[in-house]
A and B are shown apart, each in its own frame.
Chain A
């Protein structure tokens, strides 16, 4: 049996962990597995032995295509998975406290205060019948014990911080009176209201217009950088991670397939799937008209991990052994990698014949 490498610690730093101090990770996810079991249907292993760590103030990216298990991972950390029909195994340690199986009352105290989350769709994530002001103040009252007047003042401040013009008037608005970008700003204000130690952003820009996407990303970067708030950025777009994250974990079909420090990863992607994702990022240094090369096939063309490498049906490097043995996540080349035949050339250079 292979001892799996636990990603999350930069390889360049010696791992001197003297109990409890400074460098101890804020969040340690170990062998997290989430299985959906529906009566009459085969169980779905949405998340499969996922491990990673996040330190205070660190920005970590979790990247993968649709269905790779990113949201389920984040919901498991937040304790927001549906109560029935799901099995969660492994451990999520948040600053010394085990979150898996934690009693609901304690979990509710942590959520919104220590752990916060911004979701994908701002159009549906705000309650349509309550003013946005109230939706901010209710979290302030719940966790920070502010009275009505103070909570309102604070709500206006928060709206200012997230760049909403005329915040004193906007607190009285209902969600339908705001644009999608504005609503996402409100949701970010809500998430940051109690200065959480961990912010999970699950594809916070996917549902927005391209121009707005950049603004929201910039806002998130501004708000978290320099603060002690750690960020787990979930996205299917490596481009989002490029300017924002210190470490990146690439997920495929419920498992991490490559984890590395951002610079290492972008300098030299090793996993064919990472390579594929990278080749599909639009690049400024390429002349317009050079077609992006998407990964062939769809995320549904997978092999169960138990039968080999899940990416084999779509992988340009796949060989016979890929369909017979399951690759393990192992340390290699300043990173953790789950692949028998990693890339040796940069996939982005293929076909790029510009001057």
Chain B
């Protein structure tokens, strides 16, 4: 398993090099003076000079690449042109919000999706199965943006059950050592604040989690209904094992393999969904920040964020592969 992990991590290196090259040339193939195009409408002679100095646009291209990569290695992901702050700082500042929402969405997809899919797979053709399948189809086709607005309208605006926006009630003023608000509330003993932060996460999490939930339900169902007909399940039955053991150890464990892959793929999509959800619920996360950066064409921010997102995506993929290796011994050898 350890060798598998090391080899798998090694595989990330070429991916990341390729990506850094891509992003490096992306800015440089923009027509005209790179500094000018980076700055766009905000180009002033001083600004251009500052950028030239910062990125060394007047240097030979290979030297520029070396500078760029070594800057990356030092954690220097560039400066926001619009806000004049390091991209990394902004990113670190916004990341917890996005992670919180994504986590809730993912938790929903996994904790609800797998049991529902499992039940449906074991009771195919029953009325509950039919209900689960058709509802999940609805879930897959509903756009995140629409769902976010709908949820907000019904549960927040009309029923007033849940907060409409932000991460925390404005009247609550507590410390945020980690910037994960729910966690902060729990660590500092401010349980009311934690509960309030959690309530703020429910609607965005629901909006963001619906599509992955629906997909997890469908994949789990299909996978389970395949696995129950496998010979090894019959062997397990012939051993007289308890139904619970057979379900967990022999059916679910095998059925989870494709589900894990799916969850990994969904995580990537969650990041794009976060842009929309954070906008609707006025959450100050990466999605919202990226949205602003796109609107004003803040290239360094985009460049840095794309790299970050790609990095996160690679890490997620790595985790998916590793957990795959944990569940399925056959993956480890090949």
A residues neighboring B (CB under 8 Å): 78, 80, 107-113, 116-117, 119, 121, 124-130, 138-139, 142-143, 174, 176, 187, 190-191
Contact = CB atoms under 8 A, between A and B. Distances in A.
B242 A142 contact: yes
29 contacts: A80-B238, A108-B240, A108-B242, A108-B243, A109-B240, A111-B238, A111-B240, A112-B238, A116-B238, A117-B238, A119-B231, A124-B230, A124-B232, A125-B231, A127-B236, A127-B249, A127-B254, A128-B232, A128-B254, A128-B330, A129-B328, A138-B245, A138-B249, A142-B239, A174-B330, A176-B330, A176-B333, A190-B239, A191-B238
Contacts of B14: none
B240 A110 contact: yes
Given A128-B328, A129-B329, A176-B333, 18 more contacts: A108-B242, A111-B240, A113-B240, A119-B234, A124-B230, A125-B235, A126-B232, A127-B232, A127-B236, A127-B249, A127-B253, A128-B254, A128-B330, A129-B253, A138-B241, A143-B240, A174-B330, A190-B239
Given A119-B231, A138-B245, A128 B329 contact: yes
A111 B237 contact: yes
Contact of A130 (B230, B240, B249): B249
A99 to B, nearest CB: 13
Q: Most B CB atoms within 10 A — which of A107, A109, A111, A129?
A: A129
A271 to B, nearest CB: 31
Interface string B320-334: 000000011110010
Interface residues of B, number: 23
Interface in B276-334: 327-330, 333
Contact of A176 (B237, B240, B243, B329): B329
B250 interface: yes
Contact of A78 (B232, B238, B250): B238
Contacts of A187: 235
Given A80-B234, A119-B235, A174-B330, A127 B250 contact: yes
A126 B235 contact: yes
Contacts of A111: 237-240
B135 to A, nearest CB: 24
Contact of B239 (A124, A139, A176): A139
A174 B329 contact: yes
A203 to B, nearest CB: 13
Nearest to A174: B329
Contacts, number: 79
A304 to B, nearest CB: 29
Contacts of A129: 253-254, 327-329
Contacts of A119: 231, 234-235, 238
Given A109-B240, A127-B254, A130-B249, A190 B231 contact: no
Nearest to B238: A117
Contacts of B243: 108
Contacts of B236: 127
A112 B240 contact: yes
SS class, residues of chain B in contact with chain A: helix
B204 to A, nearest CB: 36
Contacts of A128: 232, 254, 328-330
Contacts of A125: 231-232, 234-235
B124 to A, nearest CB: 10
B260 to A, nearest CB: 12
A187 to B, nearest CB: 7
Interface string B197-212: 0000000000000000
Nearest to B254: A129
A106 to B, nearest CB: 10
B249 A139 contact: no
B95 to A, nearest CB: 35
A127 B235 CA distance: 9
A78 B329 CA distance: 31
Q: Most A CB atoms within 10 A — which of B230, B235, B243?
A: B235
A232 B331 CA distance: 38
Interface in B232-271: 232, 234-243, 245, 249-250, 253-254
A109 B242 CA distance: 9
A142 B241 contact: yes
A129 B250 CA distance: 8
A127 B327 CA distance: 12
Nearest to A127: B232
B241 A139 contact: yes
A190 B232 CA distance: 12
B140 to A, nearest CB: 28
Nearest to B251: A127
Nearest to B232: A127
Nearest to A121: B231
A259 B96 CA distance: 76
Nearest to B230: A124
Contacts of A124: 230-232
B241 A112 contact: yes
A80 B241 CA distance: 13
| Smallest CB-CB A-B distances: 10 pairs | A112-B240, A111-B240, A112-B239, A124-B231, A174-B329, A127-B232, A125-B231, A139-B239, A117-B238, A108-B240
Nearest to B125: A84
A139 B242 CA distance: 10
Contacts of A126: 232, 235
B243 to A, nearest CB: 8
